[in-house]
Amino acid sequence: MNAKRITTGLSMILKMLFRRRIIIISLVVIPVLFLTIVELTAPTRTIPFRLASLDIRTFIRESLKEIALVFFAVTSSGFLVSLLALNLIQVENDVNRRLVICGYNPFEILISNLLALSLLIIAIAVYIGLLVSWFVPINNLLMFILGLALIGFVYGCYGLAIGSLIKGKMEGVFLIVMLANIDSGWLQNPMYYAEAHNNVIIRYLPAYFPSQSAVIAAFTDYSGAMARFYGILYGSGFLILSMFIFYNKMRIKK
């Protein structure tokens, strides 16, 4: 492992990323668009709902609009980071392979990508967190942002795994959109979850713990530590899987 190679890789990855204007525009515009649509369309009726990850089976009363705003913040954070991670790994895969032939260790390339992804996860979580707090009062903003970073971590590592495994762009985007849509965009919605017939399946999906962590921080004073812990474990599983696939695909075969 060579620190100079990793920092050179990181600086080049960030340059490549920020020179793609459509990516920057998407990062800024998509959350604003999602939240504005929710703000303009969601009803303000207050409903009680239950948070499954809390030990105390308590009901929280919030307006549908506020629930939807927090929920869409979580969804857009996971979705954006996942697509960025896919883009980081997949788009320049063949050239990265050439770097490995020329002397880079596959792990050096992966660490550079992970560092770039970490910076993006933090930036996206802070941006979306502050944006949502402008629409709706957030109980614990710091922990809420941490919840958004957590879904970024879990879905970012999922994006890395898909990017390492799947060569086709369309197929990669499809797998991300499908899971993000079904899991984070539908099943983890507290309103849907509370009424679900079988919520055991929902608990095993990637967005479950990060969503719980963010919603707990947004609406309650309860600790979301366990949800955060399990979320980190879940993300680490994807991370190890993606590292394994990436290394096996990139290493020199002799």
Partner 1 sequence: MILKVENIAKSFGRNKVLNNVSFEMDAASLYGIVGENGSGKSTLLKIIVGEWKHDHGTISVSGALGYCPQNTLLFSQLTVDEHFRYFAAAYGIEKAESTDRSESLMDYFNFRKYRKEKIAHLSGGTQQKLNLAIALLHRPKLLILDEPYSGFDWDTYSRFWDYTNQLRSEGCAILVVTHLLTEKERFDRIFNLEQGELT
Positions in the binding site for partner 1 (CB under 8 A): 2, 4-5, 8-9, 12, 15-16, 19-20, 92, 94-95, 97-99, 101-104, 252-254
- Taking CA atoms, 132 is separated from 129, 141, 144, 184, in Å, by 5, 10, 10, 17
34 is written with which tokens? 């999602």
Judged by beta carbon, residue 19 or residue 57, the one nearer partner 1 is 19
Of 98 and 169, the one with the shorter C-beta distance to partner 1 is 98
In terms of CB distance, is 12 or 226 closer to partner 1? 12
Q: At closest approach, how far in Å is the CB of 150 from partner 1? A: 30
- Go through the chain and tell me how many residues it has: 254
Shortest separation between residue 2's beta carbon and partner 1, angstroms? 8
How far is CA 71 from each of CA 1, 62, 67, 169, 207, rounded to the nearest angstrom? 40, 12, 6, 28, 11
CB of 233 to partner 1, least distance (A): 34
Q: What minimum distance in Å lies between the beta carbon of 99 and partner 1?
A: 5
Look up residue 210 and give its DSSP letter.
H
d(CA 14, CA 160): 16
Residue number with CB closer to partner 1 (111 or 180): 111
Which helix or strand (DSSP H or E) is residue 27 part of? helix 21-41
